[in-house]
Amino acid sequence: MSEELQVTDEKKHKVLNNFIESDGRIKSMPAQLKKRLIILEHIIKGLEAGQSYPEPKINKHIKQFHDDFATIRREFIMHQFMTRDKGYYELNPRELWLI
């Protein structure tokens, strides 16, 4: 993990307060990568390691937070939170995440 992407718990809390509504939905996705990764990490916390998820189930999970599930799903892959194989998604080990 690069030094510039390391974030304190205080910073994470601040970002979540700024970008997450009281009902848990995302107000808007941050443009800054560091903040965006914090939001992605927040969304992915509801998924279990070692479990394989079909794409519709991932979409449903993401929709709880934001309507643009396709973009967020792609970002999960791009930033190594998840892997995809034949329409099924699985969490990567935390040490592979880019946060």
The total number of structural domains in the chain stands at 1
Q: Are 62 and 52 in contact (CB under 8 A)?
A: no
* Claim: this prediction has a pTM higher than 0.75: yes
Angle at 61 between CA 59 and CA 64, to 5 degrees: 105
State which amino acid sits at residue 66. Answer: H
Domain region containing 83: 3-96
CATH of the domain at 26: 1.10.10
Q: Are 27 and 20 in contact (CB under 8 A)?
A: yes
pLDDT digits (tens, 9 = 90+) for 7-66: 678 999 999 999 999 999 999 999 999 999 999 999 999 899 889 999 999 999 999 999
Q: Are 7 and 34 in contact (CB under 8 A)?
A: yes
